[in-house]
Structure 1
Amino acid sequence: MDAGERRQEIINILNKSKDPVKGTELAEKLQVSRQVIVQDIAILRAKGENIFATPQGYLMPRIYEKDRLIKTIVCNHQNNYELEDELRTIVNLGGKIIDVIVEHPLYGEIKSQLQIGSRHDLMLFMDNLKTTKAEPLSSLTDGVHLHTIEVNSEEVFHKIREALSKKKYLIKE
């Protein structure tokens, strides 16, 4: 398999996968090093392929079905306990957290893909936060941040907003 065929196979694998695919998994399937996969992903992105790198692996956004809604919420939390509670609230009520966005005074909008759609995803994210000792993006903006979330109805979105508001995480426009 030459490099072009391998890159096409990466696209095929990512398009078929509902979940993110780790670089090491792609490397094993395609019998190359993880570094080759990283380079291939960079080349594919440069050619215009929409590939996200998430903490769970590589992902190509799917075409959303008509019954799925994409919404944005503005939130604020002050510590990692509140961060986990906020994300758990969204997931438990049927939302998927697509990303987190902060408005930095110098750099402007900074966005990171999260792709947290289950309690398991949330557990992995929080474990990663603890083991890396990294600060969440919201620490750059005193806790204020946005999330793009995916829900299957306006009713679910309303319930999420209501629950976050009761917990004082939601910043109302």
Structure 2
Amino acid sequence: MNTFERRNKIKEILKNTKGPIKGTSLASMMDVTRQVIVQDIAILRAEGLKVLSTPQGYVLDVLEKSKLKRVIASKHYYDRTEEELNIIVDNGGKVLDVIVEHPYYGELKGLLMLSSRYDVEKFMECLKDGKASLLSSLTEGIHLHTIEADSKETLDRIEKELKAKGFLIE
């Protein structure tokens, strides 16, 4: 399979896969290294394909018009991260990202795509293993989350509980 065919195959897999797919899985399917897949994804993005890289793997950026989004401002330290994320997913929300304002680099954004306790657990395992640190560690715990939900009522409920638990910045 040549480079052109491989990239077309990657596009097809991303379009036909319902959830995220790991770069290592794509590499195995294509019989190439993960680094080759990373390069292919970069080229596909340059060609205009909207590919998101999430902790769960690659996924196409497909707008769900029926979903509502809200950005919340939060402050807490590492020890309350899991609690904050579980409040959001337990109440029917999806944590799309985390955003911090760095004094030198400006806005830094990390895609999370967490929609269940399982996703939160896997995210926390990466942090506990020392594989990553929170972006909010750069900003003394201050960060934003974009939250997606099916209704305004769900977003309101999430915001109310986060506020009651002292997470939100007023």
Other-structure match for 1:57: 57
Other-structure match for 1:149: 147
- What is the rounded CA distance, in whole Å, between the counterparts of 1:99 and 1:81 in structure 2? 19
Gaps of 5+ in 2: none
Give the alignment's TM-score, normalised by structure 2: 0.94
Deviation at 1:133, TM superposition (A): 5.3
1:64-103 → structure 2 map (5 Å cutoff): 64-66=64-66, 68-78=67-77, 80-103=78-101
Determine if contact 1:15/1:62 at 8 Å carries over to the other structure: no
Letter in 2 for 1:53: S
1:5-154 → structure 2 map (5 Å cutoff): 5-66=5-66, 68-78=67-77, 80-132=78-130, 134-154=132-152
Other-structure match for 2:169: 171
Letter in 2 for 1:102: V
Deviation at 1:165, TM superposition (A): 0.1
Letter in 2 for 1:88: N
Could you say what secondary structure the match of 2:49 adopts? coil
Give the alignment's TM-score, normalised by structure 1: 0.93
- What is the rounded CA distance, in whole Å, between the counterparts of 1:31 and 1:135 in structure 2? 32
Gaps of 5+ in 1: none
- What is the rounded CA distance, in whole Å, between the counterparts of 2:126 and 2:37 in structure 1? 22
More moved, 22-31 vs 86-95: 22-31
Report the RMSD for the aligned CA atoms in angstroms: 1.3
Letter in 2 for 1:128: C
Deviation at 1:83, TM superposition (A): 0.8
Letter in 2 for 1:134: A
- What is the rounded CA distance, in whole Å, between the counterparts of 1:158 and 1:55 in structure 2? 27
Other-structure match for 1:161: 159
Could you say what secondary structure the match of 1:170 adopts? coil
1:61-98 Cα shifts (integer Å, max 9, x gaps): 122042x11211111112x2211100000000000001
Could you say what secondary structure the match of 2:12 adopts? helix
Letter in 2 for 1:142: E
- What is the rounded CA distance, in whole Å, between the counterparts of 2:80 and 2:102 in structure 1? 21
Could you say what secondary structure the match of 1:132 adopts? coil
1:93-142 Cα shifts (integer Å, max 9, x gaps): 00000100001111110001101111111110000011025320001111
- What is the rounded CA distance, in whole Å, between the counterparts of 1:159 and 1:64 in structure 2? 21
Deviation at 1:10, TM superposition (A): 1.0
